[in-house]
Amino acid sequence: MRYILDTSVIVKNPRIYDVFPDQEFVIPIIVLEELDHLKHQSGEKARNSRIAIKYLDELTKGVEDICSGIKLENGSTLFIDQVSYNCPIGEKDTNDLRIIASALHHSKSHKVTLLSNDVNMKVRARILGIEADSQESYKTDLSDLYTGIEYISNDEMVADLYENGNCVDPEKYGYEIVDNQYVVFDNGGRTDGGTCCGRMMDDGLIHLIADRRPDSSSYWLKPKSVEQFCANDALLDKDIPLVTMIGAAGSGKTVLGLAAGLDLVVNKRHGGIYKKLVLYKSIMPVGADVGYLPGPQPLSAKILTPTGWTTMGEIKVGDFVIGRNGQPTKVLGIFPKGEKEIYKVTTTDGTSTECCEDHLWHTTTNEERVKGISGHIRHTWQISETLLDKTGGYNHILPRNKAIQFADKKLTISAYNFGKMIAKDMDKSIPNIYKYSSVDQRMSLLRGLMDILGEVKNTTGEVYFTTESEQLSADVIELIRSLGGKAVLNKNTSSKFSINILIEDNPFYISDKAIGWSKLEISDIRISEITNTNRKELTQCILVEDEEHLYITDDFIVTHNTLDEKMAHWFGSLWDGFEFILENANSPGEWKHTVDMWVKKGLIKFEALTFIRGRSISNAVVLFDENQNLSREEVKTLITRIGDNCKLILTGDIEQIDNPKLDAMNNGLTYVVEQFKGNPVSAHITLKECERSILAEVASRIL
């Protein structure tokens, strides 16, 4: 069959050719022109147009004669028809009619079907005797996919099984069973102990599961079906490092994986070789992507980096920003959030920054400080609601940054002498090479400035820097804050710019000033005001590698970004699974506390696939949920990260794919199942029964 592709089909599925193996496809030249026009627009059609064009670019690289056909991996051939034909119907040649004309031309020498989701185009094609259909009419046949289970009804074989030590040779009875494939005798059904379930072992024989390993049941979960029983056997076998499970919603694939992970890690089955349960999930939304990540800032917000300031809009994945501890931390992810309302957050230091109402902060309330609690992660709107405590005082304390560890610089003039020189010539500002030099260099620079323009109040020990230069005062304030100190412009002075300074180290060098300095406690920095700016801006948030997930924004304000908070919505199904397992085990009502405890001990980790490249995971059970949303390339990246003493569990429902580039046949999960079929390092189970509820079972069957 030769399929002529309309634009409407390609913008629905940019890789439509991958769905049909061993076929011929023709893309009329006018379709490429329409894709080129659509790619500049917004929305799903535009995105899919760009994907289609990029995919065509990949397919045509290195092909000498594109018009003669491009051979695809699935055995199909793709042709680009560069001729623009005239259609015998219609008053003028529209794009639709030219596509129909291309189909008419090819129908003279081939059996042709025009694939289009445009009803009117299909009707006009049929007028000319051309077979026309929509993409939706060609449902993918999943019946040939490897299920991992063979159901056998053979009394003679069963008798042989029990007469020969609970094992049997399938070839003797004409069955082709591959390594780690399960066999259910008596046509399957339900089982209470697995006595009618066997598995093909590397000796070429089917062995009964219950006979081979009596401990094939999980401590946390009792299988409800024969399929779940087989899956559980594979999950708990340390000699099978890769287990894949495909199943519809409610089939239990995720819960089975979680229960097995707890068995292997928490219960230390197999001697505790697995040290942690690592849970991955792809970032692929269902429906419109309203943004799962809370906490954006406007693109204009300033962000501190190892070389100075940049803006949120300039940050890229792989860049380094500065954490609260003053050290560089890598940016792992960039998440554009679109246009949002902007709020201004002001502190008691006189500093301010801008963010959205769901931006995250680490703050300690007055009550938490009294109780010795280190604080919690809060949204801006939550802080606004509790801005003042019961006494009317500012309630939320922010962490203060440590001295920033900029690199040591080669300076033509020593930092101390340069500070003295600038203090005497107040028309100058502090160059960036000095401002972003090492801690020692910046401290020497400050002492040079303070020895000329600084003073200590003998009565209070307070330190001030006074200047008539607005620029110099701004530079000194930045200098003090970069050293982890507090610098506040004093508005109650007759001098033009007077700065009150609190810092850990003596800011003076000359003895008559240095001797008068005494170390004073640096007061808290608190949020004093949150106001709506009544404007909207483009925003984004970043994900940083630092374990505190804190970074420095405008005026050296320390703000927060955390994977746990941002991924919580996406791992909801896994938390539901933990609740189901633990509420039905031995800790009713305490399941969340139990999981939190395991997380704090490092037994459970939640991760995002976005940040797996370059990693190597060892001594762990790795569960990847919703794996059907991964491409072949992505699933390869995941599997090649797995090191020694690991068990990888891939689960998914290939009939519920949210990635517009993938379908039931070309997604990463299906690819792994088929490629690893019969490989002794892997086992696969397709779960067909819905065990969640009667409603879920009926819905999965009829909808």
3-state secondary structure 229-281: HHHHHHHCCCCCCEEEEEECCCCCHHHHHHHHHHHHHCCCHHHHCCCEEEEEE
The CATH 3.40.50.1010 domain(s) of the chain lie at 2-137
Inter-axis angle of helices 29-38 and 44-60, nearest 10? 130
pLDDT at 608 over 70: no
Q: How much of the chain exceeds pLDDT 90, in percent?
A: 49
Residues contacting residue 71 through CB under 8 Å, at least 6 positions apart: 77
pLDDT at 48 over 50: yes
pLDDT band of residue 662 (cuts 50, 70, 90) is confident
pLDDT of residue 289: 38
Q: Which amino acid is at 126?
A: R
Residue 246, φ and ψ in degrees, nearest 5: -115, 135
The CATH 3.10.28.10 domain(s) of the chain lie at 415-514
pLDDT band of residue 197 (cuts 50, 70, 90) is confident
Alpha-carbon separation of residue 354 from 35, 308, 342, 365, 572 (angstroms) = 40, 19, 6, 21, 30
pLDDT at 488 over 80: yes
pLDDT at 190 over 50: no
pLDDT of residue 193: 40
Alpha-carbon separation of residue 28 from 54, 132, 530 (angstroms) = 17, 15, 58
Q: State the Rg of the chain over Cα.
A: 33
Contact 323, 260 (CB under 8 A): no
> What's the whole-number average pLDDT of the chain?
86
Taking the C-alpha atoms of residue 616 and residue 465, their distance in angstroms, rounded to an integer, is 52
pLDDT band of residue 396 (cuts 50, 70, 90) is very high
Match domain 415-514 to its CATH number in 3.30.565.60, 3.30.70.920, 3.30.300.30, 3.10.28.10.
3.10.28.10
pLDDT of residue 586: 56
Lowest mean per-residue pLDDT among 44-58, 319-333, 423-437? 44-58
The CATH 3.40.50.300 domain(s) of the chain lie at 220-285+570-702
Q: Which amino acid is at 241?
A: P
pLDDT band of residue 287 (cuts 50, 70, 90) is very low
In the chain, the N- to C-terminal Cα span, in Å, equals 31
For residue 302, what is the DSSP state?
A: E
Average pLDDT over residues 444-454: 96
Lowest mean per-residue pLDDT among 190-199, 366-375, 519-528? 190-199
Taking the C-alpha atoms of residue 377 and residue 371, their distance in angstroms, rounded to an integer, is 17
For residue 404, what is the DSSP state?
A: P
pLDDT in tens, 335-345: 888 899 999 99
Average pLDDT over residues 497-514: 92
Lowest mean per-residue pLDDT among 25-39, 83-97, 575-589? 575-589
The CATH 2.170.16.10 domain(s) of the chain lie at 297-400+525-561
Contact 447, 463 (CB under 8 A): no
pLDDT at 387 over 90: yes
- Across 20-29, 279-288, 350-359, which has the greatest mean pLDDT? 350-359
Between residues 700 and 478, the one the model is more confident about: 478
Q: How much of the chain exceeds pLDDT 70, in percent?
A: 87
pLDDT in tens, 68-123: 899 988 889 999 998 888 888 876 778 899 999 999 999 999 999 999 988 999 99
pLDDT at 697 over 80: no
pLDDT at 333 over 70: yes
pLDDT band of residue 464 (cuts 50, 70, 90) is very high
Q: Which amino acid is at 396?
A: H
Taking the C-alpha atoms of residue 39 and residue 610, their distance in angstroms, rounded to an integer, is 25
pLDDT at 427 over 90: no
pLDDT at 275 over 70: yes
pLDDT at 292 over 50: no
- Residue of 240, 204, 238, 236 lying closest to 223 (CA atoms): 236
- Residue of 276, 279, 273, 277 lying closest to 644 (CA atoms): 273
pLDDT in tens, 240-272: 999 999 998 888 899 999 999 999 999 888 778
Q: Which amino acid is at 439?
A: V
Question: Do you know the residue count of the chain?
Answer: 703
Residue 546, φ and ψ in degrees, nearest 5: -50, 135
Contact 99, 46 (CB under 8 A): no
pLDDT of residue 582: 85
Match domain 297-400+525-561 to its CATH number in 2.170.16.10, 3.20.20.10, 1.10.10.10, 2.40.110.20.
2.170.16.10
The CATH number of domain 2-137 is 3.40.190.10: no
Question: How many helices (H) and strands (E) would you count in the chain?
Answer: 22, 33
- Secondary structure (3-state) at 101: helix
Lowest mean per-residue pLDDT among 298-302, 530-534, 542-546? 542-546
Top CATH class of 220-285+570-702 equals alpha beta
pLDDT of residue 291: 41
Taking the C-alpha atoms of residue 138 and residue 322, their distance in angstroms, rounded to an integer, is 53
Residue 101, φ and ψ in degrees, nearest 5: -65, -35
How many Cα atoms occupy the beta-carbon half-sphere of 71 within 13 Å? 3
Instruction: For tokens 């979960």, name the residue.
Output: 221
pLDDT at 54 over 70: yes
Contact 223, 662 (CB under 8 A): no
- Across 132-136, 290-294, 602-606, which has the greatest mean pLDDT? 602-606
Alpha-carbon separation of residue 382 from 349, 376, 525 (angstroms) = 21, 11, 18
Taking the C-alpha atoms of residue 489 and residue 477, their distance in angstroms, rounded to an integer, is 8
pLDDT at 366 over 90: yes
Angle at 657 between CA 695 and CA 234, to 5 degrees: 75
Helix (H) or strand (E) holding 614: none
Residue 29, φ and ψ in degrees, nearest 5: -60, -30
Taking the C-alpha atoms of residue 245 and residue 649, their distance in angstroms, rounded to an integer, is 8
For residue 198, what is the DSSP state?
A: E
Instruction: For tokens 């599925």, name the residue.
Output: 13
Average pLDDT over residues 655-670: 77
